Structure 1
Amino acid sequence: MLGVDDVADRIESVGFRCRRCGACCRRVAEDSNLVIVSPAEVRAIMAATGMAWDEVAEPYPDFIDAGNGGEYTLAWCIRRTTKACIFLREGRCSVYAHRPWICRTYPFMLVDDELRVSECSGLGMPLSPPGARDAAADLCGRQAAEAAEEAGIRAVYRRATVPPGKRAVIDSEGVKVLHG
């Protein structure tokens, strides 16, 4: 795993400044604004907004056959309309202080020791060393949080049972059967 300083150097060499255009929150192609979130992130948004779980999150759209007439998926996503994230209001994020890791670190992502960069109009803009370090710290935090969530999902999955004929989400907290 890369350290914060290594990631900061890479981010600074790419350059980035958020232009606050909201393009990353809008749907420009199928699942282009799909934001995968952990149960902890959903709960943080719930606490900040007073919204219920199913108002904040929806199951990841790809389901797997459980072999008993049931289906499951392994992640949650922020709810979206046909046009954008539900938290994009008047061109701004209405849960900015509580936004998920993926939003906080966009357009960057760490895959093992590789920095991946998504398309964004803010790329190439000058970024100060402290700004790059802050972005790198968030990115390393995201990588650690995602690894912990994946380990939790694996542990739950080993003993998980999806009820026959039902749809469920298996996450680090357990098997959540979907209703409706």
Structure 2
Amino acid sequence: MLGVDDVATRLGSVGFRCRECGACCRRVAEDSNLVLVSPAEVRAIMAVTGMAWDKVAEPYPDFISADNGGEYTLAWCLRRTADACIFLRDGRCSIYARRPWICRTYPFMLVDDDLAVSECPGLGAPLTPLDARDAAADLCRRQAAEAVEEAGIRAVFHEATVPPGKRAVIDSEGVKVLDD
């Protein structure tokens, strides 16, 4: 895994400044604004909004068939309208202080020992060494949080049973059967 200093160096060479355009929150192509969230992130958003789980999150849209006629997916996403994330209001994020890791670190992501960069109008802008280090620290924390969530899903998955004919999300907290 890359360390904070290595990531900061790479971020500095790419450059970035958020233009607050909200393009990353809008659907520009099929699932372009699909934001994966952990159960902990859903609960944090619920705490600040007072919204129920199913109003904050939706199952990841790709389901896998179980042997018993049921189906499951392994992730949650922020709920969306046809056009944008439900938390994009008047061009701004209404949960900015509790936004998920994906949103906090966009347009960057650490994939093993590589920095992945998504398209964004803010790329190429000068980034101070302090800002690069802060962003790098966030990316490393995100990578660690995702590794913990993935390990939790693996542990639950081995014991998971999807009820026959039902749809469910298997996450680090267990099997959550979806309402029909």
Same-fold call, TM > 0.5? yes
SS at match of 1:77: strand
Q: How does 1:130-149 map to 2 (within 5 A)?
A: 130-149=130-149
**Alignment correspondent of 1:174:** 174
Give the % identical residues.
84
CA distance in 1, matches of 2:137, 2:31: 27
1:54-79 deviation digits (Å, cap 9, x = unpaired): 00000000000011110000000000
Instruction: Tell me the TM-score normalized by structure 2.
Output: 1.00
SS at match of 2:132: helix
Which residue is 2:158 aligned to? 158
Q: Root-mean-square deviation (CA), in Å?
A: 0.3
Q: Mark the runs of 5 or more structure 2 residues left unpaired by the alignment.
A: none
1:134-159 CA distances to partner (integer Å, 9 max, x unpaired)?
A: 10000000000000000000000000
**Match of residue 7 from structure 1:** 7
Paired amino acid for 2:58: E
SS at match of 1:159: coil
Deviation digits for residues 63-99 of structure 1, max 9, x if unmatched?
0001111000000000000000000000000000000
1:62-77 superposed matches below 5 A? 62-77=62-77
Amino acid at match of 1:160: A
Task: Tell me by how many angstroms 1:21 deviates.
Answer: 0.1
1:92 match: 92
Q: Deviations over 1:90-143 (max 9, x none)?
A: 000000000000000000000000001000000000000000001000000000
Equivalent AA in structure 2 for residue 52 of structure 1: A
Q: Is 1:21 matched with 2:21?
A: yes
Q: Secondary structure at the match of 2:163?
A: coil
In structure 1, the gaps of 5 or more residues are none
Instruction: Specify the alignment match of 1:35 in structure 2.
Output: 35
What one-letter code is carried by the residue in structure 1 that aligns with 2:85? C
Separation in structure 2 between the aligned mates of residue 137 and residue 104 of structure 1, nearest angstrom? 11
Q: Secondary structure of the residue that 1:47 maps to in structure 2?
A: helix
* CA displacement at 1:52 relative to structure 2: 0.3
Structure 1 stretches of at least 4 aligned residues deviating more than 3 Å after TM superposition: none
The secondary structure found in structure 2 opposite 1:81 is coil
Other structure's SS at 1:109 match: strand
Kindly provide the amino acid, as one letter, of the partner of residue 177 in structure 2. V
Relative to the length of structure 1, the TM-score reads: 1.00
What residue in structure 2 maps to residue 49 of structure 1?
Answer: 49
> Partner amino acid for 1:58?
E
Secondary structure of the equivalent of 2:158? Answer: helix
